[in-house]
Amino acid sequence: MSNKKLVEVYNLKQYFPVSGGKLFQKKFVKAVDDVSFYINKGETLGLVGESGCGKTTTGRSILRLHEPTAGRIIYDGTDITRVNMLPYRRKMQIVFQDPYASLDPRMTVGDIVGEAIDIHKLAANKNERRERIIELLSLVGLNSEHANRYPHEFSGGQRQRVGIARALAVNPEFIVCDEPISALDVSIQAQVVNMFEELQEKMGLAYLFISHNLSVVKHISNRIGVMYLGKMVEMAESEELTFHSVHPYTRSLISALLVADPVVARNTNRIFLEGDVPSPLNPPSGCRFRTRCPYATEVCAAEEPEFKEVSPGHFAACHHIDKVQ
């Protein structure tokens, strides 16, 4: 893993307009609100949080599958926020969450994987294209016979492998992994995670690994960012975040991790959050977590906490870090 930054995101905002507001007054869902982070070459940055917190929107906005409302996206030193993305599609790819919806049922697996090879003209002739497709399928644990089959003939795990082969077809440097194992059987999840790690080692890939499963993210990531209601609330190296988290929301997530040792599990104090996640249409003033936070005071309602460095490489946004036990 290099210390050279590959992807840099500054003050990213993604607001979606919604109908139903008053006349001449537009309402917006603030799906991602002022999020900043970076990913080094060959690094895995994990992004966790409960459903609806903005993880997937962040990943898609970086690739400009959603055009960002505001903010800047820097790729390998170049600002790509407003440029033609076609040359960067070769460098930045995505593995989608649902292996059933993300593959065209009318195309063979060979054509699905080969589509990007055709668009970017990466093969000189049909034989070279065919060899490249077979090589990619082999890389993800499938064989040449699978190239002539259709997606409905595969299991969920095999379909996700096809999706990964499609992402690798253009030799990318960076892949957004959007909950790539959440739709798979538990028995298959470990195989797919291990494959991601092997591919990273072999090809020097950088990942943004999005998941609500903190156990998986902890295993695969170098650093982890925690999101809540469109905001980044904490970010640190994987071990540091697991054992020395300082934000009350992160603490509650970590307390819910399953522990294999029953003695340790019995002595672990679960932190239960009260209330429900507020609506992103009408988020709380100040700190967005304050309505469920046991440490909340008046200052939390009045002022939004700054996302700042609390120790080397460890960032958090909380007014009461000194009180969190």
Which CATH architecture is the domain 5-91+172-316 placed in?
3-Layer(aba) Sandwich (3.40)
Residue the block writes with tokens 């930054």: 5
Indicate the range of 56-60, 171-175, 225-229, 259-263 predicted with least confidence: 259-263
> How far is 39 from 17, CA to CA, in rounded Å?
29
pLDDT of residue 186: 85
Please give the backbone phi and psi of residue 283, each rounded to the nearest 5 degrees, phi first: -70, 155
Report domain extents, the chain.
5-91+172-316
What is the share, in percent, of the chain residues with pLDDT greater than 90?
75
DSSP 307: -
pLDDT confidence tier of residue 273, bands split at 50, 70 and 90: confident
What token pair was written down for 51? 């459903």
Model confidence at 265: pLDDT above 60: no
CA distances from 311 to 10, 18, 237 (A): 21, 40, 11
The residue that leads in pLDDT, 77 or 18, is 77
pLDDT of residue 325: 60
pLDDT of residue 277: 82
Q: How high does pLDDT run on average in the chain?
A: 91
DSSP string of 8-30?
A: EEEEEEEEEEES---TT--EEEE
> How far is 88 from 72, CA to CA, in rounded Å?
15
Model confidence at 259: pLDDT above 80: no
User: Do strands 5-18 and 70-75 pair parallel, antiparallel, or not at all (unpaired)?
Assistant: antiparallel
Mapped onto helix, strand or coil, the DSSP state of residue 3 is coil
Residue (of 45, 49, 42) closest to 9 by Cα position: 45
DSSP H or E segment with residue 314: strand 314-316
pLDDT tens per residue across span 87-127: 999 999 999 998 889 999 999 999 999 999 999 999 999 99
pLDDT of residue 209: 97
Residue the block writes with tokens 């294209």: 129
What is the sign of the dihedral through the CA atoms of 292, 295, 298 and 299?
negative
**Average pLDDT rounded to a whole number, residues 184-191:** 86
Q: E strands along 62-173, which residues?
A: 70-75, 78-79, 92-95
Residue the block writes with tokens 């002739």: 125
Model confidence at 23: pLDDT above 70: no
pLDDT confidence tier of residue 275, bands split at 50, 70 and 90: confident
pLDDT tens per residue across span 138-174: 999 999 999 999 999 999 999 999 999 999 999 999 9
C-beta neighbour count of 58 within 10 angstroms? 28
